[in-house]
Amino acid sequence: MHSRCKNCLYCSVLQYVSLGDPPAVKGWKRPVLAVAGLALTVCTVMALRFAWERTGAVFFATVSVILMMIALLGVAISVRGCDHCVARYLGRTL
Ligand SMILES: [Zn+2]
């Protein structure tokens, strides 16, 4: 773990899902992560409304919820995470 990340909540969380060295820290990654997270959140909300109107769409709805949680975590990291978290999370997603 990077010493300057000691107070960052997401660093310790991402340690469990991200293996190896963190990707390069780039300034453009934070807005990209925020936009991508918000776009994915909107898509999953629409997908859930689509699934809600249909019976037998439980699997579709479950996948949508999982994707929404990934998207919301991305938004949360882009807002509150440090630069290393942003790079690490985006590096795993893209
Ligand atoms: Zn961090």
Residues with CB under 5 A from ligand 1 (ion): 5, 8, 11, 82, 84-85
Confidence of residue 92 (pLDDT cuts 50, 70, 90): low
Give the pLDDT band of residue 81 (cuts 50, 70, 90): very high
Token pair listed for 19: 């293996």
Query: Do the Cβ atoms of 1 and 11 come closer than 8 Å?
Result: yes
Residue-range domain boundaries for the chain: 7-17+24-93
| C-alpha of residue 65 to centroid of ligand 1, in Å | 25
* Rounded average pLDDT over 36-62: 91
Report the chain's mean pLDDT, rounded to a whole number: 86
**Contact, 49 vs 62, CB < 8 A?**
no
66 vs 17, higher pLDDT:
66
